[in-house]
């Protein structure tokens, strides 16, 4: 839009200062555009295109234009400044010398996203899908296979632009190559799916970090998708970011009801589905699956934990996510143990049945220790390393109990291992986190997937704003 040479002003009728300077503007013969009353002056800016393109933040704004380009501007009413800009003396002598203006409609938070989508040349690269006039937008998303079985939020340009404000990363930056289709996924594509999942903009950096972790080679996302086993990605969040975005590490931390927990994990799953092509019944071949494949995300409870933050123990202090392949939640009940040795034995016997009690080193797991159980370890001075060392000893299993046919079960290890002692978990195959409500002598085991090089390894990544 080329501006006319001379004096140009932007006003709105709802602004007392704009009404105050009307006589001055008419005396100057300025070209005046009004934001909220098309009939007040000759210029109609009720669509706010001019205001948006000029970056008007306050009205009235008076500009001097030459050769179609702005040379100077004054915001609000100030007689000395207006006289200097216009070169006309004695302006508005009957008016106060100075009056501040009002906020421009073009920076109204309720309008700015629509204006950016309409006029901003936002550069959104995603394909636009036009729906028929009578087509229900929510049903249309179901019909096109873009949902996880629950309704999603339609990803309009306005919503995607708002989501992208949650990060300083370039929308066109490739975050990851997402299996199984090995598609390059940009920050913008993640934002689209985060909108659909119901995320807030401040959740986006955590979703980006989770995707980076999920697509690390050692996490083996393609295999995790294609397996007939139950498992899917589980996201554990550490650092101040968890509290900043309102994540739940307390009561019902592994359950429903918290927007950040629910939508961050869901956004990751939607990216895998909609960008990578990982759809159930296609590449996703789980025999049964588990509800956590819709979303499984929680924050670690750090403030009273007996353990250092999980991510910090894994070499990434501060804001970070750790992804593990998880197959569901197995309850652990021990309401009587008050010393760490006894409680560790409870954990060990429950961990032994992970996947199958006769399959050592085959499947990883994560033990989520509740605050009441955690207090037992904290008061005894046991940290994560001490507990893991105790569990390693308790989970050194006699091969004779594990061989095929032992205890009347055909499942098990080859007979040649009968004289061996075998660990239940490979080195690094058991993670320990701390989460849950203040009351309840219950902890949880999140069963994993195939361990090590033949399966998935937990991955930790920094959350970058």
Question: Which 3-state string (H, E, C) describes 397-438?
Answer: EEHHHHECCHHHCCCCECHHHCCCEEECCCCCCEEEEECCCC
Q: Which structure tokens are listed for 298?
A: 């929680």
CA nearest 362: which of 249, 257, 231, 235? 231
| Averaged pLDDT for residues 218-239 | 96
Q: Which 8-state DSSP code applies to residue 456?
A: B
Q: What is the pLDDT of residue 453?
A: 78
Q: What is the pLDDT of residue 121?
A: 65
pLDDT, averaged across the chain: 96
Spatial separation of the C-alpha atoms in residues 445 and 460, rounded to whole Å: 19
Q: Is the pLDDT of residue 91 over 90?
A: yes
Q: What is the pLDDT of residue 442?
A: 98
Q: What is the pLDDT of residue 24?
A: 97
Domain residue extents for the chain? 6-119, 141-462
Q: Is the pLDDT of residue 315 over 80?
A: yes
pTM, 2 dp: 0.88
Q: How confident is the model at residue 111 (pLDDT cuts 50, 70, 90)?
A: very high
When mean pLDDT is compared across 113-127, 350-364, 428-442, the lowest value belongs to 113-127
Place of tokens 């934001």: 35
The rounded Cα 63 to chain-centroid distance in angstroms is: 42
Q: Is the pLDDT of residue 306 over 80?
A: yes
Residues with Cβ < 8 Å from 399, sequence gap 6 or more?
A: 413, 417, 418, 419, 420, 421, 422
CB–CB of 7/41 below 8 Å? no
pLDDT in tens, 116-148: 888 876 678 888 888 898 899 999 999 999 999
Q: What is the pLDDT of residue 117?
A: 86
Q: Tell me what percent of the residues of the chain surpass a pLDDT of 90.
A: 93
pLDDT in tens, 367-421: 999 999 999 999 999 999 999 999 999 999 999 999 999 999 999 999 999 999 9
Residues with Cβ < 8 Å from 195, sequence gap 6 or more?
A: 153, 155, 156, 159, 160, 163
Spatial separation of the C-alpha atoms in residues 252 and 195, rounded to whole Å: 24
The edge-to-edge listing of strands for the beta sheet with 31-34 is: 43-44, 31-34, 6-11, 61-66, 69-75
Paired strand residues for 451: 456
| Averaged pLDDT for residues 36-47 | 96
When mean pLDDT is compared across 65-79, 118-132, 195-209, 273-287, the lowest value belongs to 118-132
pLDDT in tens, 75-87: 999 999 999 999 9
Q: How confident is the model at residue 23 (pLDDT cuts 50, 70, 90)?
A: very high
Radius of gyration of the chain (CA): 30
| Averaged pLDDT for residues 258-264 | 98
Spatial separation of the C-alpha atoms in residues 213 and 323, rounded to whole Å: 6
Q: Which 8-state DSSP code applies to residue 216?
A: S
The separation between the first and the last C-alpha atoms of the chain, rounded to the nearest angstrom, is 35
Question: Which secondary structure element, helix H or strand E, spans residue 137, and what is its range?
Answer: helix 137-143
3-state class of 16 per DSSP? helix
Q: Is the pLDDT of residue 434 over 80?
A: yes
CB–CB of 47/1 below 8 Å? no
Q: What is the pLDDT of residue 422?
A: 97
Q: How confident is the model at residue 465 (pLDDT cuts 50, 70, 90)?
A: confident
Q: Is the pLDDT of residue 452 over 90?
A: no
| Averaged pLDDT for residues 216-229 | 95
pLDDT in tens, 368-379: 999 999 999 999
Q: Is the pLDDT of residue 1 over 80?
A: no
CB–CB of 55/107 below 8 Å? no
CB–CB of 123/173 below 8 Å? no
- Tell me the fold of 6-119: Glutaredoxin (3.40.30)
CB–CB of 238/435 below 8 Å? no
CA nearest 455: which of 299, 223, 123, 281? 223
CB–CB of 233/268 below 8 Å? yes
Spatial separation of the C-alpha atoms in residues 458 and 445, rounded to whole Å: 15
Q: How confident is the model at residue 166 (pLDDT cuts 50, 70, 90)?
A: very high
């Amino acid at each position: 839009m080329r501006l006319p040479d001379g004096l140009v002003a932007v006003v709105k009728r709802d602004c007392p200062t704009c009404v105050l300077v009307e006589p001055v503007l008419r005396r100057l013969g300025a070209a005046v555009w009004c934001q909220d009353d098309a009939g007040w002056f000759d210029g109609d800016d009720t669509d706010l295109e001019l205001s948006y393109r000029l970056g008007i933040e306050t009205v009235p704004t008076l500009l001097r234009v030459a050769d179609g380009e702005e040379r100077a501007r004054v915001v609000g009413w100030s007689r000395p400044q207006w006289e200097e800009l216009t070169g006309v003396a004695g302006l508005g002598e009957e008016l106060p010398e100075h009056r501040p203006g009002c906020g421009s409609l073009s920076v109204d938070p309720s309008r700015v996203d629509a204006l950016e989508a309409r006029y901003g040349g936002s550069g959104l690269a995603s394909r636009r899908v036009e729906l028929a006039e009578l087509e229900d937008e929510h049903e249309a998303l179901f019909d096109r296979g873009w949902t996880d079985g629950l309704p999603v939020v339609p990803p309009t340009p306005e919503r995607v632009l708002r989501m992208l404000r949650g990060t300083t990363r370039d929308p066109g930056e490739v975050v990851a190559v997402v299996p199984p289709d090995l598609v390059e996924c940009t920050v913008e594509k993640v934002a689209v799916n985060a909108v659909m999942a119901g995320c807030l903009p401040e959740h986006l950096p955590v979703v980006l970090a989770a995707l980076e972790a999920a697509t690390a080679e050692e996490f083996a996302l393609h295999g995790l998708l294609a397996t007939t086993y139950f498992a899917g990605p589980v996201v554990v969040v550490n650092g101040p970011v968890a509290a900043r975005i309102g994540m739940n590490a307390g009561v019902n931390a592994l359950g429903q009801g918290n927007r950040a927990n629910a939508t961050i994990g869901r956004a990751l799953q939607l990216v895998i589905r909609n960008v990578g092509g990982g759809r159930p019944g296609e590449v996703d071949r789980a025999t049964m699956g588990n509800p956590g494949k819709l979303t499984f995300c929680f924050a670690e409870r750090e403030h009273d934990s007996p353990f250092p933050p999980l991510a910090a123990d894994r070499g990434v202090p501060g804001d970070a996510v750790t992804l593990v392949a998880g197959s569901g939640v197995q309850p652990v009940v021990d309401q009587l143990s008050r010393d760490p040795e006894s409680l560790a034995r409870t954990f060990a016997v429950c961990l032994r049945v992970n996947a199958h009690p006769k399959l050592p080193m085959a499947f990883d797991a994560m033990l989520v220790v509740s605050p009441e159980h955690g207090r037992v370890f904290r008061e005894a001075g046991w940290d994560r390393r001490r507990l893991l060392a105790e569990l390693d000893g308790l989970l050194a299993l006699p091969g004779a109990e594990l061989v095929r046919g032992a205890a009347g079960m055909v499942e098990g290890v080859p007979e040649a291992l009968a004289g061996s002692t075998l660990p239940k978990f490979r080195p690094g195959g058991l993670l320990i986190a701390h989460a849950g409500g203040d009351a309840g002598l219950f902890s949880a085991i999140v069963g994993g997937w195939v361990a090590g090089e033949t399966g998935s390894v937990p991955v930790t990544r920094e959350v970058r704003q």
